[in-house]
Amino acid sequence: MSGFAWYVVESHPSREDFVRDRMEELGRDVFLPLVSERRPGRRTSTLGPLFPGYLFASLSETEGDLPRVRWMHGVRSILGNGERPAPVENEVVETIRARADRKGKVNLGVGLRRGDRVRILEGPLAGLVGVITHPATRPEHRVWVLLELFRRATRVELRTSAVGSFAGCGSLATHRA
């Protein structure tokens, strides 16, 4: 589709599905990444948005999509630089889509294997690089990561969403726990 670019559309709270359906009715490609989430006190997990309040839409500026979507019921805004909406790189959307199934459910951390190098993305250990010692079998499970802290190997347990693959650095297969 020439003239189309991906934009991040901000919806009103809990209106992502409604906005997705309205844009699909306009014939636009929309991607709402979902993730399994378990609420405290509940035994089962439900599907919810990976980015609550946000979804991706392929829109055409030349066909008048931006003002039409901006004023669509359920839409809060189209993210941009303050003055006007700004498209996101296709690679961003395609990277997330590559980890999603047909329904849009993204598998976080499940693709990681024992021995894979990862970077911690959040929390007090953010930025540190470690090695997966016990991978998650499901997205809501946790992973064990071996870190070198204070010249000593230390294992930490983290949420799968707290780690990301660390491309370009070989495996630390020598560190098995």
Per-residue pLDDT tens over the stretch 107-129:
665 567 788 888 888 778 888 88
Residue ranges matching CATH 3.30.70.940 in the chain: 4-98
Tell me what percent of the residues of the chain surpass a pLDDT of 90. Answer: 34
| pLDDT at residue 163 in the model | 82
- Specify the CATH number of the domain 4-98: 3.30.70.940
The average confidence (pLDDT) of the chain is 82
Residue ranges matching CATH 2.30.30.30 in the chain: 117-165
Tokens of 89: 């790189």
Model confidence pLDDT, tens digit, residues 91-102: 889 888 887 888
133-169 b/e with 16+ CB inside 10 Å = b? bebbeebbeebbbbbeeeeeeeebebbbebbeeeeee
Contact predicate 131/172, CB 8 Å = yes
In this prediction, residue 175 has a pLDDT band, given cuts at 50, 70 and 90, of very low
CATH of 117-165, one of 3.40.50.1220, 3.40.50.1820, 3.40.366.10, 2.30.30.30: 2.30.30.30
